[in-house]
Structure 1
Amino acid sequence: MENVALLAQEEITQSTAPLGKIRVGVTEGLGIMFLASRMIGLFERYPGLEVELVAVPRFVSILNREAEISIHLERPAADMLVTRKLTDYKLALYASQSYLDGAPPLRSREDLGRHAWIGYVDDLLFSQELMFLNSFCRNPRVVFHSTSVIAQQQAARSGLGIAVLPCYMAASDPDLVALLPDESIERSYWISTRRELHKSVRLRVVWDYVVGLCEGERELLMGQ
């Protein structure tokens, strides 16, 4: 019923420009460190819009009506959804200079086992796509765990150890040093909405803006 009401309201109020509220659910790294600072162009173009950005370290469910648009680390399989790949992105190794100054030499992949690591809380992972420490080190010595990638970035900045971070978050951070440039992994973001909502004018405006934003920032997202 909520979906029918949204579309019916648009037929009455949005003949000239999209108006109203759209909630976007997104993982916190992309939401806080990428999208939030780049949304102003949407409102300059469509001042009648209102966006709620739900940026949390978990999936935001469209099927449970937590949001109208959701951005995932994995492709949702539900037939009720319209889904497309939003973008690929790259993660790499980062640490602070203060950590490196007091740590064993780091010249190659073989040296990684001698270092302290920062990672996720394994039994609270919301996606298997976040299980990537073993892609770099067979038995990493993880000294700090957090469900938040932003907390991991802050821990790395403080000198706690090595973190695997999205390049769009860490590459321009003056307190972090990129390590072993040949060592990186690639992941993807997927954007989805309920099939019946895909016809909504204001939803499509937000959807198209986010897609265009990621296409225009591909080099940043891929760490190039």
Structure 2
Amino acid sequence: MDWDKLRIFHAVADAGSLTHAGDTLHLSQSAVSRQIRALEESLGTTLFHRHARGLILTEQGELLFEATMSMTRKLDGAAARIRDSEEHVFGELKVTATVGFGTLWLAPRLVKLYEKYPDLKIDLILEERVLDLPMREADVAIRMKEPSQSDLIRRRLLNIRMRLYASPEYLEKAGMPQSLTELASHRLICQKTDQPQVAAGARLVQELLAQNISTMLTVNNYFGVLQGVLANIGIGVLPDYLTADHGRLIRVLPEIESGEVPVFIAYPEELRQTRRVAVFREFVLEEIQAYRRAQSEIRGS
């Protein structure tokens, strides 16, 4: 099968338009149309339904598009490995993480990675939505649950829990609650249970709200919750990985915590040998080890 025709078919299927595909390929609309007709004739089938507003893939066209998507991903992976060398790491790496972990733990540590690899370009995508790694919405993901896709390489980094924390200034003014029932007289800072977050954190917030909390501050991510705690507004529900970087936080009601939340790093199989992915993976693993040492020192002090 003629790869040049497949390349043009892939561009048309992706754009849904002969004109837009032609712009991308720097070909005229008529040239693109001729190649598509020739491909359909060679396959003996129709690949697109023609409509006034654009093109829609037929069932046979969808099958071919799946094949060209797979070929494109493999070519992208090969090109990335060719561009990378053992001595020089450069180019763009798309990393996705949750807003909380990406903002509060990952981003402050990236300076160490840039010191080693100054030509690396990291596109950090922070959102709760799970991006599709096999479809290359991102190259690497750090997720608060094990990825379900079978064609991903994954590794558990650590387990975290959501706990209650406050600033020394707030506790000096409002007092340290000695029981869960006493929490009702304090201001709680947390995410709403209907907002995107780890299920264990939402369940903990639901348990706390059952204590008839009279005053609250709700924020849609843990970064905002942390800022509220540091501003002495109240007692916040926060992930325990913050304690390594925010030693002034005081844990409140140590017996209260969420269930364990696993943290995984994952990336597509075809990027296993890509240097950008490899150095990022090793960087994260090294930082996790340093974090664990810091946590051990905190517990031992």
Q: TM-score, normalised by structure 2?
A: 0.63
Q: Give the Cα–Cα distance (whole angstroms) in 2 for the partners of residues 211 and 157 of structure 1.
A: 28
* Higher RCO (Cα < 8 Å, 6 or more apart): 1
User: More deviation in 211-220 or 2-11?
Assistant: 2-11
Does the CA contact (< 8 Å) of 1:72 and 1:190 recur in 2? Answer: yes
**Percent identity over paired residues:** 25
Superposed displacement of residue 40, structure 1: 2.8
Confirm whether residue 96 of structure 1 aligns to residue 167 of structure 2: yes
Q: CA deviation at 1:61?
A: 3.6
With 126-135 and 194-203 compared, the bigger mean Cα shift is at 126-135
Partner of 2:222: 149
Counterpart mapping for 1:1-224 below 5 A: 1-101=72-172, 103=174, 106-131=177-202, 132-134=204-206, 138-139=210-211, 141=213, 143-170=216-243, 173=246, 176-185=249-258, 186-220=260-294, 224=299
CA distance in 2, matches of 1:9, 1:192: 18
State the Cα distance separating 1:57 from its structure 2 match.
4.4
Partner residue in 1 for 2:60: none
Structure 1: state its 5+ residue gaps: none
Q: Which has the higher helix share?
A: 2
- Taking a change above 3 Å as real, the CA distance of residues 105 and 37 of structure 1, as seen in their structure-2 partners, is closer
In the alignment of these two chains, the number of paired residues is 224
CA RMSD of aligned residues (A): 2.9
- The offset of 1:66, in angstroms, is 2.4
Q: 1: distance between equivalents of 2:230 and 2:87?
A: 48
Larger radius of gyration: 2
Runs (5+) with no aligned partner, structure 2: 1-71
